[in-house]
Amino acid sequence: MQKLIDFLQRFGELVVFAARAVGSLARRPFEVRETIRQIAEIGYASLPLITAAGLSVGAVMSMHTRASLERFGAEALIPAALAIAMIRETGPLVTGLLVAGRVGASIGAELGAMRVTEQIDALETLAVDSFKFLAVSRILACMIALPILTTVMDFTGILGGFVVETAISNMSFELYFQQAFSGVGFADFITSTLKTTVFGFIIGTIGSFIGYTASGGSAGVGRASTQSVVFSSISLIVVNVVLVRVIFFLFPEMQ
């Protein structure tokens, strides 16, 4: 029972933290420099991981799709099926989970270490709003970086599919991409990619919250890192279900 109360109390604190972050987004100082630095740290530094994952996922999905569609003589649909799957769901979700692993852990550990070594207190004594400087800048950076990384994941995934297709069926680059995008609407891309802004908010908020409130020395930093990944990944998967439902409600033509 006590564990449940502790969990609910912690969840309540997280909600207050998230609300404070949302309220701070439009309030000065905007910490533009730190946000840009974090976008580079979170976004640019994640590109190799996202690119490699995108190519691999696209290639594997292409092989699986071929195995299924070949039975019905529908190989021509492989590019379109792959593009729809990548853009609508696989790209956003895989990107979110990869970033939750790489960035969530890093935010949790970095802020946790800053908390236990009094660096966050030091920021405050230097008349810097540590919440805005550390947490809000990271949350905003995640919200900006995620859609960009998802776009990279989508296109590298489709490219990975092309590599497999051209190796098996000798399909040309032009034909492959023409077929791939024939089944994808602008709404597919926009809704699914913008959905990852919410993923970015979740990853940034949970990582920042756990790191910012860490305690207990180096063990506490380790815990903060692990908890950030676990909670942001679980939250992301659950929220994704809700967001898909919301998208289908707002854009019935996508069902």
Partner 1 sequence: MTSSPDVHIRFSEVDKAFGTQTILDKVSFEVPRASAFCLLGRSGMGKSVTLKLLAGLLAPDAGRVLVDDENIPELSPTQLSHTRQKIGFLFQQAALFDSLTLGQNIAFPLERHRKLSATETREVVDKRLSQVGLAGNEGKMPAELSGGMKKRAGLARALALEPEVLLVDEPSAGLDPITSTEIDELLLELKSEAGTTMVVVTHNIPSARRIGDRLAVLHDGKILAEGTAAELEQSEHPMVREFMNSKTGG
With contacts defined by CB under 8 A, name the span among 65-73, 118-126, 160-168, 186-194 that binds partner 1.
Answer: 118-126
118 forms part of the interface with partner 1 (CB under 8 A): yes
**125 part of the interface to partner 1, by CB under 8 A:** yes
Regarding 5 and contact with partner 1 (CB under 8 A), the answer is: no
Cβ(107)–Cβ(228) below 8 Å = yes
Answer yes or no whether residue 2 interacts with partner 1 by CB under 8 A.
no
Report if residue 119 touches partner 1, rule: CB under 8 A.
yes
Whether the upstream peptide bond of residue 29 has omega within 30° of 0, thus cis, is yes
Of 88 and 132, the one with the shorter C-beta distance to partner 1 is: 132
Tell me which long-range contacts 1-5 makes (C-beta under 8 A, separation of at least 24).
none
Stretch that binds partner 1, among 82-90, 100-108, 117-125, 158-166 (CB under 8 A): 117-125
Give a three-class secondary structure readout of 84-123: HHHHHHHHHHHHHHHHHHHHHHHHHHHHHHHHHCCHHHHH
Minimum CB distance to partner 1, residue 213 (Å): 15
Binding pattern for the stretch 127-166 against partner 1, x by CB under 8 A and - elsewhere: xxx-------------------------------------
What are the structure tokens assigned to 215, written together?
């305690």
* 80 and 179 Cβ atoms separated by less than 8 Å: yes
**Is the CB of 51 or the CB of 130 nearer to partner 1?**
130
Min dist. Cβ of residue 173 to partner 1 (A): 43
Q: Which residues contact 54 (CB under 8 A, 6 or more apart)?
A: 91, 152, 153, 154, 155, 156, 157, 159, 160
121 binds partner 1 (CB under 8 A): yes
Contact with partner 1 (CB under 8 A) among 74, 122, 167, 238: 122
Q: Which residues contact 222 (CB under 8 A, 6 or more apart)?
A: 109
Binding site for partner 1 (CB under 8 A): 113-114, 117-119, 121-129
